[in-house]
Amino acid sequence: MNLAAPCLPACGTVTYGTQLCTQGAPANEQLQSRMIELDSARHRFGYWRIYALLRREGIGVNHKRVFRLYHAAELPVKRRRKRCSVAVEREPLTLSSRPNEVWSMDFISDALVSGRRIKVLSTGDDFTKESIDLVAEHGISGTIRCACTGASCAVPRVTAGDSH
Which pLDDT does position 116 carry in this prediction?
92
pTM reported for the whole predicted model: 0.41
Does any domain span residue 153?
yes
Instruction: Pinpoint the alpha helices (H) of the chain.
Output: 4-11, 25-41, 47-56, 63-72, 142-151
Does any domain span residue 65?
yes
| pLDDT lower than 70: segments of the chain | 1-24, 144-153, 162-164
> Are the CB atoms for 60 and 41 separated by under 8 Å?
no
Kindly state whether residues 13 and 57 are assigned to the same domain: yes
Write out the residue range of the structural domain in which residue 142 sits.
102-161
Does any domain span residue 79?
no
Does any domain span residue 82?
no
3-state secondary structure of 102: strand
